[in-house]
Amino acid sequence: MGKPVLAEIVRTHAAERPDATALIFEGRESSYALFDSNASRVANALIGEGVQPGDRVAFIGKNSDLYFEYWFGAAKAGAVLVPVNWRLAPPEVAYVLGDSAPKIVLADPMFLDRLDEANGYRILVTEPDDVRGEVCGYPGWRDAAAVLDPRRDVGYDEPVLQLYTSGTTGNPKGAMLSNRSLLALRQETPVDVMPEWNRWSADDVALIAMPVFHISGSGWGMWSLQHGGKGVVVREFDSNQVLDLLVKYKITKIMMVPTAMRIVCDHPDAAGADFSFLKYICYGGSAIPLDLMRQAIAVFGCGFAQMYGMTETAGTITGLPPEDHDPEGNERMRSVGVPLPGVEMRIVGEDGVELPRGTVGEIATRSPSNMTGYHDRPEATAETIDAEGWLRTGDAGYMDADGYIYLADRIKDMIITGGENVYPAEVENALYSHPLVSDVAVIGVPDPKWGEAVKAIVVPVEGASPEPAELIAWARERIAAYKAPKTVDFRETLPRNPSGKILRRLLRDEYR
C-alpha cells in the first residue's frame, strides 16, 4: 500500500475520532466526521462539473473553514488547489488565474469584481445566497452532491497545492507542492527525533491566523489536521480577536510574524492575561528583535521558535529552538537555526560546489519537502532544482561549525514587510511607467512596525517635480498595496556598477 496522501488524513481521523473537533471558525464547529463528509461532497460536486485529475481549482478569499474542506475535497477529486492572494491588484489576480487555468473558482463576495466567467472558469461564492444573480452559492452546491467518497486521489508525488511566488523579474511562478512535499517530513520522521517545538498531537489547539494563500497559513492548518488537532481559523489577523481566541480555546500553538507579535504584545489586555496553556509561538519572515523577545517572553511565558523556509520547500526547513532564545541575547539568535530532521542543507558557490563552513554563498537544500517544480516552467524549474534534487533558495548565507544557518543577505534583494515578500523589480516596473520617472531603485528600510518598509528612490524626468503621494498612488493602481512604496525620496542619480546594475546594497546602507 502506498504512503498516506492528503485526503487520507481526514478519512483516518473521521474513522478513528469522528466526534473530535477538526476546525472552528467564527463559532461554527466541524467534527472530523462532518469535515470528511463535506470534503467528499465537494469532490463529487467538482467531478460533476467535469473536473479531472490534475485540473486546477482556485480560491480567492480570506481565511475560512470552507477553504480547508474545499482543498481536501479537491484532493479527493484528484485536483490541485490554487489559493490566490486576495491582496494582489486585479491585473496580478488575472495573471495567476490565466496561468493556472482553473475549472472552478471559489470566491468571497468582496472579490467577485476580480473574476470573469468569460475566462473559462465557473464561479462559486462562499456565501449561501446567490449574491449577483450569476454565481452559485458554495454551501448549496456542496450539499447537493453525493456524500460517498470518490477516492480519486492522485499519487504521492503528484501536486495537490499550487502556490504562486513573487518573481524577482517578470510574472510570479506557481510552485507545485505534492503530497510528499506537504506530508513526508512528519510522516517519515519518528516523533522522538522531531524537535519538541515542532511536534504535533491530537491534543494541540492551533490558531490559524496567517493567510491561507501563504504556505504559512495553509501549511499550519494542514499540520493541525494531519495530527488530528483542533484548528481555530481566523478570517484575518486582528489583535483583539487573537487575544480573545487564545484564551477562549486555550490555544497551544500559534504561528505569526514578528510584526504581528508586537501588535499583540502591545495590546493593553495582553499583560494581564493568563497564557499558561500556550506551549509555543513559532515565527518566521524575519528575526525577532531582542526588545520584542523580552516583551513577548514576559507576556506569554511560552517557548519561542524561529522557522525558515519558502514556498518552494513547502514551508519550514530549519528551526531556531526555544533553548537558543536568550533574553540577554546571543550569537545564535542571529541565525535561523538548524535543519529539521530529514532536511539536508549546504552552502554553495555559483558553480554549485559546496563551500567551507563560515563562507558566504547560496543556501541550497534537499528534502522530501521540495516542490515538484514550477507550473509550466521547465526552464525555471531546472534553474532552481538540479538533477540531484538540490534546490537553490536564492538566499545568501553561511553555516557555522555547529550547523546553524545564518542569512547574510538576500541574493534577490527581496524585501520582507509585515511578513509579505516584495521584490524590488515588481515595484520598479510599476513606477517606471509613470511619465515623470526617469530612473528608480526600490529597497527595504528598517521599520519598527513592519520590520521593513518599501522605499522608492526616484530620479525624476529633467525639469519635473512629481509628488511622492502621486507616485505611491500610481504604484497602488498597478500592484498590490503592500508592495507599493511607503515613502519616496528623490535624487539626481542612482549608484550603479560598471555593467549598469543598481547597487541596492549601497542605498540600503545609507538608510540603515
pTM given for the model: 0.86
DSSP 8-state class, residue 367: S
pLDDT score, position 131: 54
The full set of domains in the chain, from first to last, is: 24-179 (3.40.50.980), 189-342 (3.40.50.12780), 343-412 (2.30.38.10), 415-511 (3.30.300.30)
Longest dimension (CA), the chain: 73
The reported pLDDT for the residue numbered 424 is 84
From residue 257, alpha-carbon distances to 108, 207, 234, 283, 329 in Å are: 25, 13, 15, 5, 19
* pLDDT above 60 (res 168): no
Q: What is the pLDDT of residue 63?
A: 98
Mean pLDDT of 341-352: 94
The angle at the Cα of 166, spanning 460 to 158, to the nearest 5 degrees, equals 165
**Distance (Å, rounded) from C-alpha 362 to C-alpha 411?**
8
Quote the cell numbers at residue 479. 500592484
Rounded distance between C-alpha atoms, residue 428 and residue 456, angstroms: 8
How much is the pLDDT for 129?
Answer: 64
128-145: pLDDT as tens digits: 865 555 678 999 999 999
Q: What count of residues does the chain have?
A: 512
- Position 145 scores a pLDDT of 98
Find residue 310's DSSP bridge partners: 315
In the numeric block, which cell numbers belong to residue 280? Answer: 509555543
Closest CA to 66 of 94, 100, 25: 25
Q: Which grid cell is 105? A: 473558482
Q: How does pLDDT run across 230-264, given as a tens digit for each residue?
A: 999 999 998 889 999 999 999 999 998 887 888 89
Rounded CA Rg of the chain = 23
Return the amino acid letter for 470.
E
Instruction: Round to whole Å and give the CA distance between 207 and 214.
Output: 15
The C-alpha atoms of residue 484 and residue 474 are separated, in whole angstroms, by: 9
CB 242 within 8 A of CB 264: yes
Cβ atoms of 293 and 325 closer than 8 Å: yes
Residue 84 has pLDDT above 70, yes or no: yes
In the chain, the amino acid numbered 283 is Y
Return phi, psi of residue 477, to 5°: -75, -15
C-alpha cell at position 171? 510574472
Would you state the pLDDT for residue 132?
A: 55
The values of phi and psi at residue 11, to 5°, are: -60, -45
Share of the chain above pLDDT 90, in %: 71
pLDDT exceeding 70 applies to what percent of the chain? 96
Dihedral sign computed on CA atoms, order 395, 399, 405, 406 = negative
Q: What is the average pLDDT across 471-479?
A: 93
CB 486 within 8 A of CB 443: no
Take residue 264 and report the three cell numbers written for it: 499583540
Contact 157, 136 (CB under 8 A): no
Backbone angles phi, psi at 135, to 5 degrees: -125, 160
Among 2-16, 35-49, 146-160, where is mean pLDDT lowest?
2-16
Q: Is the pLDDT of residue 471 over 60?
A: yes
Euclidean distance between the first and final Cα of the chain, in Å?
56
Our measurement of the distance from residue 7's CA atom to the centroid of its chain's CA atoms, rounded to an integer in Å, reads 21
Its sign, for the CA torsion 367, 369, 372, 374, is: negative
Query: In whole angstroms, what is the distance from residue 54 CA to residue 297 CA?
Result: 46
Q: According to the model, what pLDDT value does residue 2 have?
A: 66
Mean pLDDT computed over every residue of the chain: 92
